[in-house]
Every structure is written in C-alpha cells, then in structure tokens.
Amino acid sequence: MSQQQSAAPATATTTVARRRDWWRDAVIYQVYPRSFADSNGDGMGDLEGVRSRLPYLRDLGVDAVWLSPFYASPQADAGYDVADYRAVDPMFGNLLDADALIRDAHGLGLRIIVDLVPNHSSDQHEWFRRALAEGPGSPSRDRYHFRPGKGENGELPPNDWESIFGGPAWTRVPDGEWYLHLFAPEQPDFNWEHPAVGDEFRSILRFWLDMGVDGFRIDVAHGLVKAEGLPDLGGADQLKLLGNDVMPFFDQDGVHEIYRQWRHVLDEYAGERIFVAEAWTPTVERTANYVRPDELHQAFNFQYLSTAWDARELRTVIDRTLEAMRPVGAPATWVLSNHDVTRHATRFANPPGLGTQIRTAGDRELGLRRARAATLVMLALPGSAYVYQGEELGLPDVVDLPDEVRQDPAYFRGAGQDGFRDGCRVPIPWTREGSSYGFGDGGSWLPQPAGWGELSIEAQSGEAGSTLELYRAALHLRRTQADLGAGESVEWLRAADGVLAFRRGEFVCVANTGGESVTTPAYGRVLLASGEITEADGEAKLPADTAVWWTTA
C-alpha cells in the first residue's frame, strides 16, 4: 500500500469504553515518537516502537495517547513542517503501522489523538512548490502570504514581524516577492482567508477520522488568522510580548469561525472525538474562547504551566482558570511539561521562570522533589491532565548536549523560543543497560547522558518510593476516588503561608511549597504522599516541597 492510500478504517469493534464525556477528566500521555521507542535500530523512534509499548501506557493508567507529528516531512522542525498530511514519514513507518497502532490502542482501552499542523506547511509541500514555480500573481500564491517588499527595490520585508524562532518572519524568493513564516523559513504560513485552505483541512480531518483516531491536538491553534493588512508592530519587542498581549498574527477573533466549521466535521463521527488547542493567549479568559460549546473541547493551560512553585501564585492561576472555564462549560486542562519547554523537574530547581541549568546534585534533588509534589497537585485538580513522556520517571532536561548534535531550529536562529528544546526531547530510558537504555538497538538520535539507566522504567518499576510508582499510584487513585477527576471547583482550606490546601468532597490535597517543614491538620486517612510525612495527635508534619492526598471517608 502506498503512503497516499488510506488503510482500512478502524471499526467500532474495539474495547475503548464509550464513556460519555471521557475527555472531561482524562489523563492524556504525550508521546514524542522520535524519542519514545525505536523498533528497527536506526536510532530514531517510530510508530511500531510506540505500538510495542502501548501495554506500558495502559498499565501506567492513562486514558489516551497524543502523538506528536509523524507525517511526511523534511524534518526542518522535527516534523512540524509537514509536506504531506495524509502520509507517514518513512522514518516513522507507513500508514499500515499507523492503522495497527490505532487498532491496538483501542484494543487496550486507549484512545489516540494525533497532532495537526494547520498554521503552516513545509516549504516542500506540493502547494508551496507550485506557488514558487508559478510566480507572482498566480492563484497558487494566494494560499500562502506572498507580498512585495518595501524599499526602493522591494529589498525590505513587507512588515516588521519577527519569527518565533528568531530573525525576520519573512524570506525573499528569487522573483523578488517575500513569504511569511512565523516559525522557520521552511515553514511558510497558510493564508486561511483562501477557501481552498479550509477545504483541504476539513478533508484532512476526515482522512484521519476515517482511520479511527479519537481526536486532534491543534498546533499553533491561535495563529491561523492574521490581522487585516498585516500591520507593523511598530518596533515593539515581539518576543517579550508573546503570550502577554493580542498580537496581529496570534489570537485573532477570526480563528473561532474555523473551529466552528471543524466541530461540524468532528460531530459527524461517533465515539466522542475531541479537539485540544495549543493556544498561547494573554489570559485564561481568552483561552476560554477556544472551548466554547460549539468549538474545541480542551485548551492547554499555559498560564498554569508557566507558574512558579509557589502556593499563592498557584492558587491565583487555579482560581482564574476554573472561573474562566465555568461559563463555557469546558473542563480545565492542566499541564506541567511538553516537548517545547524545559521539563518541570529541571524548571522547578531554578525558579522563577523557565531556566534550564541544574548546577549541582542538590539542584537535581530539589527539582525532582518539587516536581513530584506538583504532580500530585495537578492530578488532584478538577478537569483533565496531560503527562509528557518521561516525566513519570522524573527525567530532567539534558542540558549539556554538544552544539553539533542539536536540531532545534530555534537554537540556530538567535535562541527564539528559548532555543534549548532538544534538552527535553532526549530519548527516554527503558532499561538499566544497553546502548540506548532500551530505546532501541542502534543508539539514539540525541545522546543520552551517563546514568540515564538508573532513571529507567526497569530501574523504577516495583521500587517503593520511585517517581514511576508515584505516578502509577496517583493515576490509579484518580480513577477510583469518586471526588477526583471532572469538576468545576475546589474548596480552599485555611493554611499557613506557602501551603496550598483544598478539598473536593471527601478528598483533601495539601502541598507545602515552602522551604521549611510545616504542621497541618491530618485530614483523615493518607492515600498518597510525594515524600515522607509524620502524623501524631491529629496533626501531620509535611517536609518542604511535599504534597499529600487524604480521604475523610
């Protein structure tokens, strides 16, 4: 079967539970395919590798798997530059492999969510190559943003926008016109004002829905529509404004009509398929616009991800999130790490901000202790949660990668968007030993550090107190405790400075974000704790950076 042919669609004869509104309290595990498992020993993870490890994810206790892009791509930005949205890149396998993965996942009770990249294509996409060949004024160019330049001879970009990866957001082609790319030059932005673009993506949605996928994560969901006339920013520091203000190329109101049309497509299919938006917006209130009842189902809560390990700041963003989601009837969606940010086991060792450097073993221990506690807080909150591969192992960022192995385009273009995303993308360890610690038989596309095997699934499985066993226990309790999962609110409890404490029915979560031990009421029977706690005379002593779950039942 060729890459352009569709495998037979998955049928309804799977064991995926048809639980209504499953996505409102789902725990969804992000797989970065190139770094998860390598089945053929070429050093690159692939779909067959993911398929072989699905039982591990079922046993971990997640509800669904989100796959980062595996489409045909020149890989200028790790697959987020798509050349063919209906084909699997040979480095990951083929459509038969995708079909088998979807079927096996369903047979194990797991749902599959795939990444969709609608803001831009690869410069090797058939449409863009045709646009270059046909020249200025051709209809093909209208599917992208081609413009004449400014200056006496058109030698200056059409406006002052910068690429998120650093440098100008415009590249000039030999015939003198310029095209817009908010990311790398190999990623030209689609013009969503052109009807052919909308028609094409509705067709792409149906292609993968017919294959049996359960939903889509929408990359750069906030970026599809640009302000009319592509106005200048007027010399503003664009990178500092990102995520803090409505930009002429981000979070424009026109995106919402696109998603209303997409929702009609999704609703043609049975089984409660979902959309989740990667929408970087200035406020959670604007994020809520993406999850109105006739649009998308979930949106990543980047305000929460960017919050420091601080009780007061966490309470503020939790309250604002729940308040913003309540009027639109959408679940809050919590996340601590993903493939674009520093892992939180490293980030929390260096507050405030998204720092990447761990200087000592003490920093490593501090970051891991905070990450474990933060996980219990996240999984106790009302709504859905996302887990990035390897965080259940407490993996830190790999910060000492040599320049010659780095592949993040932001690293080579002036460190826009941090520029150090490779550090969170190093292939994960499965075993204590081996050339790539069980990732595959042929090494790994990014080098793994010495000692990586001691953090592996093999090393942590069955090990009391390990981070992996903490995640397994927390996810099991989340399924079995009636007051966990979906919901719209928490009841805050009186607590000392630096302590976050809330109740949900008969369940209580308390987290000490401070640097000293604190004494708190013992709220009942301990279900789970991220560290050692002691109880006596109706009180509990929580060490610094520790969280505990109680039940009052």
- The pLDDT of 122-134, averaged and rounded, is 98
For residue 374, give the nearest of 305, 477, 424 by alpha carbon: 305
Q: Side chain identity at 354, as an amino acid letter?
A: L
If one counts every other C-beta atom within 10 angstroms of the C-beta of residue 230, the result is 16
Q: How far is CA 411 from the centre of its chain?
A: 20
Tokens of 129: 């190559």
What residues are labeled active site?
A: 219, 268
Q: Give the pLDDT of residue 363.
A: 84
User: Tell me: the pLDDT tens digits for 178-225?
Assistant: 999 999 999 999 999 999 999 999 999 999 999 999 999 999 999 999
Q: Give the pLDDT of residue 399.
A: 83
Q: Are 172 and 149 in contact (CB under 8 A)?
A: yes
- Residue 180 half-sphere exposure toward CB, CA atoms < 13 A: 27
Tokens of 403: 């320049």
Q: How confident is the model at residue 330 (pLDDT cuts 50, 70, 90)?
A: very high
**Per-residue pLDDT at 4 exceeds 60:** no
pLDDT more than 90, % of the chain: 84
Tokens of 27: 């725990």
- The pLDDT of 303-312, averaged and rounded, is 95
- The pLDDT of 29-37, averaged and rounded, is 98
Beta pairing class for 111-116 and 64-67: parallel
Tokens of 453: 């095997």
pTM for the structure as a whole: 0.93
What three-state secondary structure class fits 522? coil
Q: Peptide bond before 352: cis, by omega within 30 degrees of 0?
A: yes
Torsion of CA 178, 179, 183, 187, to 10 degrees: -130
Q: Are 341 and 424 in contact (CB under 8 A)?
A: yes
Residue at token pair 């409890």: 493
Q: Report the mean per-residue pLDDT for the chain.
A: 92
Q: How confident is the model at residue 271 (pLDDT cuts 50, 70, 90)?
A: confident
Q: Give the pLDDT of residue 205.
A: 98
What letter does residue 368 receive in the DSSP assignment? H
What three-state secondary structure class fits 65? strand
Please give the Cα distance from 302 to 305 (Å, whole number). Answer: 5
Q: Give the pLDDT of residue 26.
A: 98
